C-alpha cells in the first residue's frame, strides 16, 4: 500500500541578499541574490525547504514572476501527497509551461519531505552514495585582464583547486584575459572558462584555438544557445572540450545534444532542469552516452546549494562542481546544510532530508505569501 502524506500549507518568500561585490558575466551584472524560498508543510508535521535563483537572461524568470507562479503551484498542490513527486511535477507542468526555476524550488522541497519521511539523507534517497569528495571551483568575473589576474591569484592563494573564468566579451580580449591569468597563477592550477554564449561561431573557434596553449580544462557555452546545431562544428574544431550549459536545460535538450554529438560535457543546473526529478533524467541519458557532467548553480544560498551537492552524489559521471556563489553572499541565513571547508572542499549533511533550514526569525524580514 502506497504511503501518503498531505500538504497542508505552502509559504513563499522573496529572499533578497546583497552580494559582497558585483558578479559580472557576459550576460550582465548582479549585485544581489534575488531568490525565492518555498516551504511546504504537511499535516503530519514534516516541512520541506526549496529555493530557486531565477535569472532572466537564461530561464526567463525573475523573483517577481517566480513569486506569482509559485502561488499557482501552491493552490494545486495543497491537499496533495508530497511523496508522489512525479504526480506533483506533472501538476505543475499542467498549470504552466516552462518556469523551470520556480518548479525547481518546489521539486527540492518535495524531495526534502520525501527523504525526511524515508529517514535518509537526500543523496541516498535519490540513489546516490557519499563516496567522493566534492570540491568547488571559484569564479573570476569578467573585466580588465590585470584585475582578473589579481582576482585569480587571490583564489589560488585561498586554496581552491581550480579557477573558473568568465569570458565572452570579444575573443581577442578574452585571450589577453587568460594570458594574464595564466601568467599570474602559473601552469599547475586548472583553468575552466565560461563564455556564456558570448562568441559568434567563427570567433569561438578562433578564440578556443588561441587559448589551447593555456591548458584549459573545458569551455562552457561558447556560442548562443539557439545556435546549438553549430555546436558540433565548434566541438570538432576546438582543442578544448565543450560543455553545454544554457543549451542544455532539460532532458529533451540533453537528448538532442547527444544525437548531434554536440559536446563532451553537460552542465546540469536544477534551476534550468526544473529540479531533481528531471535533472536525474539528464544524468541517466549522459551516463548512457558517455557524457561527463558538472553540476552548477546560479546565485543560490546554501539551501539550494545543499540540494545541488546531494544531487552531485547521484552519479560517478558528475566530476566537476561549481558551487561558489553562496560564498559571495554578504549574509548567510542558512542553518545546517553543506559546509564549506578549506581548499574548496564541501561537506554534505548526513541528516534525513535536505538537512538545511532558515529560521522563522530571519524569514520574518522577507516579503511572504501563504496558501
Q: Catalytic residue among 30, 220, 221, 300, which?
A: 220
| Residue 164 is among the residues annotated as catalytic for this protein | no
- Put the strands of the sheet holding 7-25 in their side by side order: 47-52, 28-42, 7-25, 368-370
Whole-angstrom distance, CA of residue 85 vs CA of residue 96: 17
Q: Catalytic residue among 39, 103, 156, 166, which?
A: 166
| Residue 227 is among the residues annotated as catalytic for this protein | no
| Residue 14 is among the residues annotated as catalytic for this protein | no
Whole-angstrom distance, CA of residue 327 vs CA of residue 74: 30
What is the distance in angstroms between the CA of the first residue and the CA of the last residue of the chain? 29
Q: Catalytic residue among 39, 156, 230, 269, which?
A: 269
Q: Catalytic residue among 34, 137, 174, 245, which?
A: 245
Q: Catalytic residue among 194, 246, 253, 300, which?
A: 194
Whole-angstrom distance, CA of residue 319 vs CA of residue 305: 16
Q: Pairing mode, if any, of strands 7-25 and 28-42? A: antiparallel
| Residue 64 is among the residues annotated as catalytic for this protein | no
| Residue 194 is among the residues annotated as catalytic for this protein | yes
Q: Return the active site residues.
A: 166, 194, 220, 245, 269
Amino acid at each position: 500500500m502506497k504511503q501518503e502524506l498531505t500538504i497542508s500549507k505552502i509559504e513563499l518568500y522573496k529572499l533578497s541578499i546583497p552580494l559582497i561585490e558585483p558578479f559580472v558575466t557576459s550576460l550582465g551584472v548582479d549585485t544581489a541574490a534575488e531568490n525565492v524560498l518555498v516551504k511546504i508543510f504537511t499535516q503530519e508535521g514534516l516541512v520541506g525547504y526549496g529555493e530557486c535563483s531565477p535569472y532572466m537572461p537564461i530561464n526567463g524568470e525573475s523573483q517577481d514572476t517566480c513569486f506569482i507562479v509559485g502561488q499557482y503551484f501552491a493552490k494545486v498542490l495543497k491537499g496533495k501527497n508530497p511523496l508522489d513527486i512525479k504526480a506533483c511535477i506533472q501538476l505543475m507542468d499542467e498549470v504552466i509551461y516552462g518556469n523551470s526555476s520556480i518548479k525547481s524550488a518546489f521539486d527540492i522541497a518535495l524531495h526534502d519531505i520525501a527523504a525526511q519521511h524515508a529517514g535518509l539523507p537526500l543523496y541516498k534517497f535519490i540513489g546516490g552514495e557519499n563516496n567522493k569528495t566534492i570540491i568547488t571551483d571559484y569564479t573570476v568575473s569578467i573585466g580588465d585582464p590585470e584585475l582578473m589576474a589579481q582576482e585569480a591569484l587571490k583564489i589560488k592563494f585561498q586554496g581552491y583547486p581550480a579557477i573558473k573564468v568568465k569570458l565572452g566579451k570579444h575573443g581577442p580580449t578574452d585571450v589577453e584575459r587568460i594570458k594574464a591569468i595564466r601568467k599570474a597563477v602559473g601552469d599547475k592550477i586548472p583553468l575552466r572558462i565560461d563564455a556564456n554564449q558570448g562568441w559568434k561561431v567563427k570567433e569561438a573557434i578562433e578564440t578556443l584555438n588561441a587559448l589551447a596553449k593555456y591548458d584549459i580544462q573545458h569551455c562552457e557555452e561558447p556560442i548562443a544557445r539557439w545556435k546549438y546545431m553549430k555546436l558540433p562544428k565548434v566541438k570538432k574544431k576546438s582543442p578544448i572540450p565543450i560543455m553545454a550549459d544554457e543549451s542544455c536545460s532539460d532532458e529533451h535538450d540533453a537528448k538532442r545534444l547527444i544525437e548531434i554529438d554536440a559536446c563532451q560535457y553537460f552542465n546540469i543546473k536544477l534551476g534550468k532542469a526544473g529540479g531533481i526529478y528531471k535533472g536525474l533524467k539528464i544524468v541517466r541519458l549522459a551516463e548512457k552516452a558517455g557524457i561527463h557532467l558538472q553540476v552548477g548553480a546560479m546565485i543560490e544560498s546554501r539551501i539550494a546549494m545543499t540540494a545541488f551537492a546531494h544531487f552531485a552524489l547521484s552519479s560517478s559521471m558528475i566530476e566537476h562542481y561549481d558551487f561558489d556563489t553562496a560564498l559571495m553572499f554578504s549574509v548567510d541565513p542558512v542553518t545546517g546544510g553543506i559546509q564549506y571547508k578549506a581548499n574548496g572542499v564541501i561537506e554534505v549533511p548526513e541528516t534525513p532530508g535536505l538537512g538545511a533550514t532558515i529560521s522563522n526569525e530571519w524569514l520574518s524580514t522577507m516579503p511572504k505569501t501563504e496558501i
